Amino acid sequence: MRLDKLLEQENFGSRRHVRALIRSKQVRIDGKIVIDESQSVEPAIQEILVKDQRLQEPLHVYYMLNKPQGVVTAVRDATHTTVIDLIAPKDQRKGLYPVGRLDRDTEGLLLLTDNGQLGYQLLLPHKKVLKRYEVIVNGVLTEADRLAFAQGIVFVGGETCKSAELQILAAKAGHSHAYLDITEGKFHQVKKMFLSVGKKVTYLKRLSMGPIQLDETLEAGQYRPLNTTELQALKPYFTIHKKERV
């Protein structure tokens, strides 16, 4: 939420009064005076002082879900169970949505929040947010495949993927096990990348997104709120200024 909207919501005065308060250098965020009323803020991870009064109530919710296979990454669907359906009624919030998407047959880490600005920042191409996947394919991955991924896979039609790191864990007749690190999110990208080198993905699981790693204690379909350490790791994506909104 914008700083001026937050202070208005917290009854520090009208929008005009709040802006005057900010410009008079009476607001500090993490110890620094702030004069940009458009800055995005979140009391859950930032120390926000207004006239030495600290704001402490979180504005949003942030959940880590271990998405199971067979569930669609959508807010609603007329046919299939959605990731939102997996969230208990007591934890539901208006505007809750998944950050990015996983295919219906893909499992693993999915972030859900009602903070639209955070989700937008995590998905911006120039942020190059790293995502790691565990992959099993129905063929033998080779050093040539690793180099092809590093150079940037080119799809039929000329679309080029950015360099990706393929770590081959095991390769034998019939299948291979690997990790794949990418910084993009093209439609069906991981599956199409492996098809381009003649292998079909038979299992796909996302293990991490940026600084957030899947909590392996979560069973498929379970979720939990992000903890303080995880929220702090996301801090660069909360502190957003007007000039960054492009």
Whose tokens are 């379909």? That residue is 221
Total Cβ atoms within 10 A of residue 122: 20
Total Cβ atoms within 10 A of residue 65: 25
Alpha helices in 152-201, H assignment, sequence order: 189-195
Phi, psi of 123 (to 5 degrees): -100, -5
Phi, psi of 186 (to 5 degrees): -70, 160
d(CA 120, CA 101): 13
Residue in 91, 92, 118, 102 with CA at minimum distance from that of residue 67: 102
Query: What is the token pair recorded at 232?
Result: 């702090």
Residue in 41, 29, 28 with CA at minimum distance from that of residue 237: 41
d(CA 41, CA 99): 19
Beta bridge partners of 208: 132, 213
Catalytic residues: 103
